[in-house]
Amino acid sequence: MQQKKIVVVGGVAGGASFAARMRRLDEFAEIVLLEKGPYISFANCGLPYYVGGVIQNKEALIIQSPEKLKSVFNIDVRIQNEVTGIDTKAKSVTVKNLLTGETYREDYDYLVLSPGAQPIRPPIPGINESPVFTVRNIPDVDAITEHVRSNRPKNAVIVGGGFIGLEMADNLYELGINITIVEKAPQIIGTMDYDMAAVVAGHLLAKGVSLYLEDGVAAFANEAGTTEVILESGRRLNADLVILALGVKPDTGFLQGSGIELGQRGSIKVNASLETNVPGIYALGDAAEVIDFNSGLPTLVPLAGPANKQGRIVADNIAGLQKTFKGTQGTAIVKIFDLTVASTGSNERSLQERKVEYLTAVTVPTSHSAYYPGSALLWVKVHFSPAGKILGAQIVGEKGVDKRIDVLATALRQGLTVCDLQELELAYAPPYGAAKDPVNMVGYIAENMLAGRMKTVYLHDLAEGKDDVFILDVRENWEVEKGKIEGSCHIPLGSLRDRLQELPKDKDIIVVCQIGQRAYVASCILQQRGYRAKVLAGGYRHYAAVNETLAAIKKA
């Protein structure tokens, strides 16, 4: 059997996963792993938690060392060796040893590209003269922790309200640092729907975080050790520490002129086998442009889970096992202060841009049986097609988010319909869930919607047409005393049949309760008696959480 020589560019999640799998499949292949950084196979998802002191030992982040990969897997690992170019005709790469400055060439039979992504760092005036940090690797967080230790900052500005920015906000907050988040978009967490992101924003505001939306950074001014962050609106923020978290882009500059086809933002185009347009050259991880499982369109999803799976698939293909990558649905989860925020599949913006027809079920139940101590609210939102196909899901809450999003992600991947969620037999005991789990409840709500038994309106519908509808609140007196929708009429559900004469038959009646269950019962009563009744999705809980947040942001 002819020995293969395989060169791997990049040794973090995907590259290291490939190399280990490749060795298990082929004991005799020569595997050379080239990594331009000082570490391989480290847990970059754990970096913010090292800054915050949750993970106190940096070594815990390092999953594999070059020495271990050599002794256990017989892999030639060369750290701080940067690939600067590729000659696809000669089947060789040009490598610069960053320690010695030496440049050399390395031949290959197969080439695996896993260079990852690099943080976006725009040329903002003053950015190089100020304590502005990014979060990509261990040296980055070493620099941040050293700055915190030496300077004891009081005020940090996080530029960017995505997952990394919010994780860093959470961890710096735990160090006693005042946090300000600046986000150019109208919302934080761009992968979430506007209303779900607003629930998270409300939690941040309750924690004392300052939040500036629809505003970007125009410049940094550094005087006498104090940094002033000058926003496009003209606001000026004082900062002892700035974290730039504006997203990432594929780290593929070294591929220019190689003949390897590139896609959006410099990503590497691959087929279903993760092979590029050049035979024998594969790409995976954050730099690879793969197929979105939901839309069938090319996408970039910088997540560790897909990268590790892709590493395994590439090794299988080089070994002759013929595997394909069936696309990524973008399942993600993040801890943001006391909340867990998770999503899978398509969000509203994506569906609207693709002109996909969809319906949405929203419910705000508790994480487990409300009578058992310690339950917390869950915001659950699921998009589905008129045929019942699950298109995407989002969940926000303090407890039980992870297990529900995993169920919904599995249902989406396996092609279950939203009505199938009713039939799922999920583990139940009062400390863990409810006899009708929130996932089951989504199925019940969706079936009623698809059957036409429940007509639904959403927060944006209410905002646009509030003057043309009659809003009926069917909660109890004590609930309404705590807050209600302005202009609504209050008739408790138990009194509804006796007070029907108070309701108009020439207007749409939007029925509101706490989470939607009683409103549905009321709508059934009204529809069967000739009224045009609809249910406000998510109920007053959802309405209040979103609108109180928006009001607080505007006031700031």
Active-site residues, by number, are: 45
The strand ranges marked E within 398-498 are: 456-457, 469-473, 489-490
Q: Which residues of 155-177 are buried (b: 16+ CB within 10 A; e: fewer)?
A: bbbbbbbbbbbbbbbbbbbeeeb
Judge whether 308 and 14 are in contact, CB under 8 Å: yes
β-strands 298-299, 332-336 pairing: unpaired
Contacts of 500 (CB under 8 A, 6+ apart): 526, 529, 531
Residue count of the chain: 556
**Rounded CA gap, 471 and 485, in Å?**
8
Backbone angles phi, psi at 553, to 5 degrees: -65, -45
Give how far Cα 221 sits from Cα of 129, 243, 532, Å. Answer: 8, 15, 59
**Rounded CA gap, 35 and 76, in Å?**
11
Tokens representing 225 are 């050790």
**Rounded CA gap, 163 and 301, in Å?**
13
**Rounded CA gap, 267 and 265, in Å?**
6
| 196-202-207-213 Cα dihedral, nearest 10 degrees | 90
Contacts of 126 (CB under 8 A, 6+ apart): 219, 220, 221, 222
Per-residue 3-state assignment (H helix, E strand, C coil) for 123-170: CCCCHHHCCEECCCCHHHHHHHHHHHHHHCCCEEEEECCCHHHHHHHH
β-strands 508-512, 469-473 pairing: parallel
**Rounded CA gap, 82 and 345, in Å?**
35
Sheet containing strand 5-9, strands side by side: 76-79, 30-35, 5-9, 110-113, 281-283
- The DSSP output letter for 418 is T
Sheet containing strand 298-299, strands side by side: 268-269, 288-291, 298-299
Q: How many CA atoms lie within 13 A of 107 on its CB side?
A: 4
Contacts of 326 (CB under 8 A, 6+ apart): 272, 291, 293
**Rounded CA gap, 33 and 95, in Å?**
12
Taking each continuous run of H as one helix and of E as one strand, the counts in the chain are 14, 31
DSSP string, 514-542: SSSHHHHHHHHHHHTTT-EEEEETTHHHH
Backbone angles phi, psi at 278, to 5 degrees: -100, 115
